[in-house]
Amino acid sequence: MTRLFAPLAQRSIVMRNRIAVSPMCQYSATDGVPDAWHLVHLGSRAVGGAGVVMAEATAVSPEGRISPADTGLWNDAQAQAWAPMAAFVRAQGAVPAVQLAHAGRKASTQVPWLGRLGVRPEDGGWQVVAPSGGAYDAGYPEPVAMDAAGIGRVIDDFRAAARRALDAGFELVEIHAAHGYLLHQFLSPLTNHRDDAWGGGFERRIRLTLEVIAAVREVWPERLPLWLRISATDWADGGWDVGQSIALCSQLHDVGVDLVDVSSGGLVPWQRIEVGPGYQVPFAGEIRRASDIPTGAVGLITSASQAEDVLTSGEADIVLLGRELLRDPYFPQHAARELGADLPVPVQYARAW
């Protein structure tokens, strides 16, 4: 048995292998409602053999969307649309998962293939919010600094979205606190300039993330796993870094987080990232060893042998693949054969294997 194809048990859930579909925005929803595109996108990765199939960053409120075309879980119609997709993923043997998110100051932007600049309210956009003032970059919307009531609404929105995720049949929820979105904006001193209970020192900057986790755990059953995605570093001087990530992650087991999905960057446009194959994997390993919590590794993992090495070296407990699974939805099947592992094929496709 290879490590990549060894099952992973968390709470009452057993993942058939350690390949997860990283949440990847499709920018193809209407009013937050996923459609046939999302069913085929997620369903094909489940058919392809992934252990966890995670739906994209799904907004907990309308103003939490990255773009007007993002999916959501702020109303029951959206939950009802997700339900058959979660059921299909589960029927193929994968764990249906969803990432809950709020984009903060990086909200109200165009879909990427139209340029990513801000969308004005008169064109279907909205007023964006953040811990402090200051747009992400030129052409992005100017945020309004959140007051205590607004912060409370965000916490309530995450709680309500988690409840709807459960109603839709998802079996794993990930909270998005990475890539420069709202929770990450509160974590980093580069974007959190507050001097109240929600900013300043480290403990106050991590407060919103911890309160969101607690709110989600209030409604997310004890029997189901909860993950947190973080950016381990801002790749920018004076920002959030690996040391602070370890300090945060050391507190997560006690508040009900089962795994930290370790990514990096996305907070500021002047970040300096050293990109290369597996460039973010060492962050997952450092956090795993220092904070004693399971981790997921991401970032240009593109081959079966590379994924196997990440796991056997102890850098992570699971790998999350993005672009490689866009190119090849059947990567898990191909990897299993390369590594000599047994991964059942759907009976409808068996004659091809």
Catalytically active residues are 181
Nearest Cα to Cα of residue 118 among 166, 68, 165, 46: 68
Q: What angle do CA 297, 169, 330 make, to 5 degrees?
A: 45
Residues in contact with 44: Cβ distance below 8 Å, sequence separation at least 6, in sequence order: 329
Non-local CB neighbours of 223 within 8 Å, separated by 6+ positions: 11, 12, 13
For 310, counting Cβ atoms within 10 Å of its Cβ (0-12 exposed, 13-18 middle, 19+ buried), the class is buried
**Are the C-beta atoms of 85 and 42 separated by less than 8 Å?**
yes
Tell me how long the chain is: 353
- Contact between 128 and 141 (Cβ < 8 Å): yes
Within the chain, how many helices (H) and strands (E) appear?
11, 12
Return the structure tokens found at 255: 């508040």
Asked if 233 contacts 243 with a C-beta cutoff of 8 angstroms, the reply is no
Q: Rounded to whole angstroms, how far apart are CA atoms 109 and 315?
A: 35
Q: Distance (Å, rounded) from C-alpha 174 to C-alpha 57?
A: 9
Crossing angle for the helix pair 304-312 and 331-339, nearest 10 degrees? 70
- Assess contact for 177 and 184: CB atoms under 8 A: yes
